Chain A
Amino acid sequence: MNAAGTLRRARAGLPGLLVLIALVAGLVTLVIVAVSGHPPASQAQEVQQIASGLHCPICKDLSVADSPAPLAQQMRQEIAQKVRAGESAAQIRAGFVAAYGDSVLMSPPRQGVAGVVYYLPFLVLAAGLIVAFVLLRRWLRAPQPDPPGAGPPELSATQRRAVAKAVARLREEEPG
């Protein structure tokens, strides 16, 4: 076996090796994504994510991420510092809630008065639907007035026999 033959065999096997490496790399990436749920967000993305979940305390309807107010800028800096220091998003949010209350959250927890305010319209709607259903059923079951010109209702043979029996009994009971 000479060197040229070995080189030729190695060249022939190279594409297969590259395909194998690509397949393994793809598989490893898939496993990482499957285990972690999503690719790791950069710190800037994390800051943006936390800031967009916080309500700018001096704005009407803007998040800390969207507000140009100096206080919101300082809140973003504070979030960035805390992210760099290794605090979790939940810890950072909890810190702002401790100072500002639940109103600093863009989606406050649905507990207490906030829960009542959130769920009350659904309860009222459900109660209204129940009332409408009950009224509709009552209305449908109510005896409908006979259309003009309609005669007495037709009786079945059994009903006619029962009526005849009752009439006969009444006649027997009548004095004289």
Chain B
Amino acid sequence: MRRLIASRRARLLAGVAAVVAVIVALLMTGLGRDPSVFASPLVGRAAPNFTLPQLDGPPVTLTRLRGQIVVINFWASWCTECRVEQAALNQTWQQFQDSGVVVLGIDFQDTADAARSYVRTDAVAYPVVEDASSKTALAYGLRGVPETFVVSRSGRIVRHVIGPVDPVALAGEINSMLGTRA
């Protein structure tokens, strides 16, 4: 009788341990993930097209950039984290602009004057367009700024980063895309 009770207890403990192990394994799968890389429903799909006016220049249409890798960065002059990543985006533009890579800033919920002032003081080197109606921001499922989308040469979104971009990770992504025919 005692042996029967001991065997039942052992089976119960093994069951509880198995359930705990499954839960811990599920939780641990998230530890290796970069929290800034967002599992956007747009990743893998065609980037929504837009034609937006540049702050000081002709309008930019996304489909006209087909064949080039496009780094789309949503930002605003009032956004402090955008200033944090500014150097990284300038560096990416300077490093890759001759390799068929375009960095494009999209000004979000801002005034043209404030945006121009930001571009001047922070020496934004790449083209910047205005999204006054936020239509483009909504089409990209924007939740805030900064957010960055990497679009392949075929016009598909391959990465969606929430928060400031990591220049090393971004350069690695671009280098791997330049090495493929994507």
**Which residues of A are at the interface with B, using a C-beta cutoff of 8 A?**
57-58, 70-71, 74-75, 77-78, 96-101
Minimum distance in angstroms from B139 CB to a CB of chain A:
6
| Extra contacts besides A57-B142, A71-B134, A74-B137 (12): CB < 8 Å | A57-B141, A57-B143, A58-B143, A71-B143, A74-B133, A74-B138, A78-B135, A99-B42, A99-B48, A100-B41, A100-B143, A101-B41
Convert B24-50 into 0s and 1s, putting 1 for each residue whose CB lies closer than 8 angstroms to a CB of A.
000000000000000011100100100
A-B residue pairs in contact (CB < 8 Å), sample of 16: A57-B141, A57-B143, A58-B144, A70-B109, A71-B109, A71-B134, A71-B143, A74-B138, A77-B133, A96-B138, A97-B41, A98-B42, A99-B48, A99-B139, A99-B140, A100-B143
A101 to B42, CA, bound (A): 8
Minimum distance in angstroms from B154 CB to a CB of chain A:
19
Would B134 and A99 count as touching, CB distance under 8 A? no
Name which residue of chain A comes closest to B131, CB basis.
A74
Residues of chain A within 8 A of B139, CB atoms compared: 99
Residues of chain B within 8 A of A58, CB atoms compared: 143-144
Would B109 and A75 count as touching, CB distance under 8 A? no
A101 to B140, CA, bound (A): 11
Which of B41, B109, B144 meets A98, CB within 8 Å?
B41
Would A101 and B138 count as touching, CB distance under 8 A? no
For chain B, what secondary structure do more than half of its interface residues adopt (helix, strand, loop), or is it mixed?
Answer: loop
Give the residues from 93 to 127 in chain B that come closer than 8 angstroms, CB to CB, to chain A. Answer: 109
- B interface residues, how many (CB within 8 angstroms): 17
Residues of chain A within 8 A of B135, CB atoms compared: 78
Convert B44-75 into 0s and 1s, putting 1 for each residue whose CB lies closer than 8 angstroms to a CB of A.
01001000000000000000000000000000
Give the residues from 115 to 172 in chain B that come closer than 8 angstroms, CB to CB, to chain A. Answer: 133-135, 137-144
**Which residues of B are at the interface with A, using a C-beta cutoff of 8 A?**
40-42, 45, 48, 109, 133-135, 137-144
A98 to B43, CA, bound (A): 11
Minimum distance in angstroms from B133 CB to a CB of chain A:
7
Name which residue of chain B comes closest to A75, CB basis.
B138
A71 to B133, CA, bound (A): 10
Minimum distance in angstroms from B22 CB to a CB of chain A:
14
A65 to B109, CA, bound (A): 19
Would A100 and B141 count as touching, CB distance under 8 A? yes
Minimum distance in angstroms from A96 CB to a CB of chain B:
8
A55 to B100, CA, bound (A): 38
